[in-house]
Amino acid sequence: MEVLLVDAGGANLGSVRYAFERLGARVRIGREPGEVRSAARLVLPGVGAAGTAMARLRELGLVEALRARRGPVLGICLGMQLLFESSDEGDVECLGLLPGRVRRLAGGPGLRVPHMGWNGLCVVRADSLLSGVGDGDTAYFVHSYAAPVGDFTLAATGHGGQFSAVVRQGDCWGVQFHPERSAATGARILQNFLTGVPA
């Protein structure tokens, strides 16, 4: 199975590539609108700031290509946040493939922001991306912003309040955590994206 990783300037591009290659996928890095529209399976990774990533996508002419594409898309960490309509981080307009606004984590006594560490997943509804993933399975998070829980939520977790850990709208999926750093749970989700979700 071939997967295209969108080069939005995220620092985790290499680690996501290696994680898919360990599963036997053929991985390409994409920066062209035509590649984005035609890829069988597309991943939008990201580590960094929403405004910077959206500026890069606009510079490469990829915003409209991503909005118009048909076929499975997986957003990872910041890449998931970019799938939403907007973000508190820089008050930026995002891709609008999922409804709602990404908000800064509240933090509080004993709750540091950014949130860094392993959290258990609470599965809200079944989906092919989560096949073999159960309540309490853990994933590794590093983030300061998160999407609320909504009709699009497949799994939730908490850090000073509940937020979406896994989302889906149509053929767009997103994970707030880093599957490439989430051991067996992350590998299972990446494998499901390669071979389990409908193309």
CB 124 within 8 A of CB 71: no
For residue 4, the tally of other CB atoms under 10 A from its CB is: 21
Nearest Cα to 105, choosing from 56, 54, 141, 51?
A: 141
Catalytic annotation, pick one of 89, 143, 172, 180: 180
Catalytic annotation, pick one of 64, 77, 115, 159: 77
CB 41 within 8 A of CB 193: yes
Question: Residue 77 catalytic?
Answer: yes
Catalytic annotation, pick one of 115, 143, 159, 178: 178
CB 195 within 8 A of CB 1: yes
Contacts of 160 (CB under 8 A, 6+ apart): 105, 106, 107, 108, 111
**Is the four-CA dihedral 135, 174, 146, 148 of positive or negative sign?**
negative
**Is the four-CA dihedral 66, 68, 69, 70 of positive or negative sign?**
positive
CB 182 within 8 A of CB 138: yes
Question: Residue 180 catalytic?
Answer: yes
Catalytic residues: 77, 178, 180
